[in-house]
Amino acid sequence: MPERILIVDDERITAANHARIVRTEGHVPVVAHSAADAREAMRADPSIRLVVCDWQMPGEDGLSLCRWVRTAMPSNYIYFILVTARSGSESVIEGLTANVDEFLVKPVEPLELLLRIRAGLRVVALDSRDAIIFALAKLADSRDPETGQHLERVREYCRLLAGEALRRRAADGLDQEFVSLIALSSPLHDIGKVGVPDAVLLKPGKLTPEERVLMQRHTVIGAATIDAVLHRSPGARFLEMARDIARSHHERWDGAGYPDSLSGNRIPLTARIMAVADVYDALTSERVYKAAMPHDEAMKVLREGAGSHFDPGVIACLESVAEAMYQQRGHLSRGVDGATPVS
Which amino acid type is present at position 42?
Answer: M
Q: What is the pLDDT of residues 32-68, one digit of tens each?
A: 999 999 999 998 888 888 999 998 898 889 889 998 9
* Angstrom distance (rounded) from CA 249 to CA 266: 12
Nearest to 278 by CA among 316, 245, 240: 245
Determine how β-strand 79-84 pairs with β-strand 102-105: parallel
**Around Cβ 77, how many Cβ atoms within 10 Å?**
18
Q: What pLDDT, on a 0 to 100 scale, did the predictor assign at position 104?
A: 85
Nearest to 239 by CA among 270, 216, 215: 270
Q: What is the pLDDT of residues 223-282, one digit of tens each?
A: 998 888 777 666 678 889 999 999 999 999 999 999 999 999 999 999 999 999 999 999
Average pLDDT, the chain: 85
Q: What is the pLDDT of residues 288-337, one digit of tens each?
A: 667 889 999 999 999 999 999 999 999 999 999 999 999 887 766 544 33
* Angstrom distance (rounded) from CA 288 to CA 203: 10
Label residue 34 left, alpha or beta by phi (over 0 means left) and psi (-120 to 50 means alpha).
beta
Q: What pLDDT, on a 0 to 100 scale, did the predictor assign at position 338?
A: 36
Which amino acid type is present at position 196?
Answer: V
pLDDT band of 150, cuts 50, 70, 90: confident
Burial class (CB in 10 A: 0-12, 13-18, 19+), 288: exposed
Q: What is the pLDDT of residues 158-216, one digit of tens each?
A: 999 999 999 998 888 788 889 988 988 898 898 888 888 888 887 877 899 999 999 99
Residues of the chain with pLDDT > 70, as a percent, come to 83
Cβ atoms of 98 and 63 within 8 Å: the answer is yes
Label residue 316 left, alpha or beta by phi (over 0 means left) and psi (-120 to 50 means alpha).
alpha
Task: Please list the residues that pair with 4 across neighbouring strands.
Answer: 28
More confident residue, 340 or 243: 243
Q: What is the pLDDT of residues 93-104, one digit of tens each?
A: 666 666 788 888
What is the helix (H) or strand (E) element at residue 32, kind and residue range?
A: strand 28-32
* Angstrom distance (rounded) from CA 11 to CA 222: 51
* Angstrom distance (rounded) from CA 122 to CA 239: 16
Which amino acid type is present at position 24?
Answer: T
Nearest to 156 by CA among 64, 273, 292: 273
Q: What pLDDT, on a 0 to 100 scale, did the predictor assign at position 78?
A: 87
Q: What pLDDT, on a 0 to 100 scale, did the predictor assign at position 341?
A: 46
pTM for the whole thing?
0.65
Nearest to 194 by CA among 252, 135, 250: 135
* Domains of the chain by start residue, with CATH: 4-122 (3.40.50.2300), 144-337 (1.10.3210.10)
pLDDT score of 92 more than 80: no
Average pLDDT over residues 114-121: 88
Helix axes 218-232, 209-216, angle to 10 degrees: 20
* Angstrom distance (rounded) from CA 327 to CA 210: 38
More confident residue, 62 or 74: 62
Within the chain, where are the H helices?
12-24, 35-44, 62-72, 89-97, 110-143, 147-168, 176-185, 198-201, 209-216, 218-232, 237-248, 269-283, 295-304, 312-337
CB environment 199-208: b (16+ within 10 A), e (fewer): ebbeeeeeee
**Residue 153 to residues 92, 278, 328, Cα–Cα distance (Å):** 41, 9, 8
Q: What pLDDT, on a 0 to 100 scale, did the predictor assign at position 331?
A: 67
Altogether, the residues listed in the chain come to a count of 343
